[in-house]
Amino acid sequence: MPPRVAASIAVIFWGVSFVATKAVLRDVAPVTLIFTRFFIGAIVLLAIVRELPPRSAWPSLALMGFIGVFVHQMLQSFALTMTTATNCGWLIGLTPLWSAVLAAIVLRERFGFWKIAGLLGGFAGALLVVTRGDFSSRVFARPSTLGDALIFISTINWAIYTVIGHKTIRRIGPRRATSGAMLFGVAMLAPFFVARAGWRDLPHLTPAGWGALLFLAVGCSALGYLFWYGALKHIEASRVAALLYAEPLVTFAAAVLLLGERVSAITIAGGILVLISVVLTQYAPGTASAAQQNPEEVA
């Protein structure tokens, strides 16, 4: 498969993932969804990679599994029971902004005027998405506000994950690191799945629900990573990373077409402002490549 096509497919998978998650949550609880998705995804990925990560990497992979799978997916799945897939897609675009902030703190990278402008613009865009232009106290009474807040926290969480997991990914390779982190994440989710007897939810899945769940497990959690990292081996990282800016647009289109979500003009304006701010921050002088960002890496 041509590298650009592979990377584009990965971005489409991740963009639609929030819509698929929303669809599955109509039939099962968040814990059941997350555990089943990553259990299947880890098996598929290991069957393709055919190699376990070295034991020396297990402690760091366990930390990656906790932050990148357990915490991250808990935040996003519970959030999607309260907010829309469209809001989730727009807000996830903030992740590179937090990565720029962490790079300035941890790696002592320069954080100049344009990065500050991008950060402020991103906050303004996120505020429009969350409030929909209503800045009264009524906003705090909406369930969607809590859901949006959880998504916002997940963007910070993922930026932390990219910093923590960067050395391990470079040392053992992205495929082994991703599959290892998934296995540890599944192990951490298992007690919660057993405690709430999550297997009892599975018969409630409709054919469409099973299709969405398998899409998340095989497409997003396994093939998406392989396509993405495979493309990075053949194309300049900055060119591949530029494709990520289309992800919120994919989520927006899929949410409207597949879920029938209604979106206000203010929400769209806020989302576009987030995208512009991220691009401004990423391409400001002294910014590290956005290629290390993987929005669904997470999802």
Least Cα distance to 8 among 211, 215, 282, 243 occurs for 243
Residue 141 has what pLDDT? 63
pLDDT at residue number 133: 67
Residue 61, CA distances (Å) to 153, 161, 179, 289 in order: 22, 11, 9, 23
The domain locations on the chain are 3-292
First to last CA, the chain: 23
The model's pTM is 0.82
Q: Rounded to an integer, what distance in angstroms lies between the CA atom of residue 103 and that of residue 80?
A: 29
pLDDT at residue 288, rounded to an integer: 47
**Dist. CA 191–CA 196, nearest whole Å:** 9
- DSSP secondary-structure letter at 28? S
CA separation for the pair 174, 265 (Å, rounded): 39
pLDDT in tens, 57-110: 999 999 999 999 999 999 999 999 998 888 888 888 777 777 777 767 776 666
Interior/surface letters 204-215, b for 16+ CB within 10 angstroms, e for the rest: ebeeebeebbbb
% of the chain residues with pLDDT over 90: 35
**What pLDDT was estimated at residue 129?**
79
Q: What residues in the chain have per-residue pLDDT under 70?
A: 103, 107-111, 132-141, 236-241, 282-299
Tell me the two tokens of residue 43.
Answer: 């098996």
Per-residue model confidence as pLDDT tens digits over 219-239: 998 898 888 887 877 776 666
Distance CA 294, CA 299 (A): 9
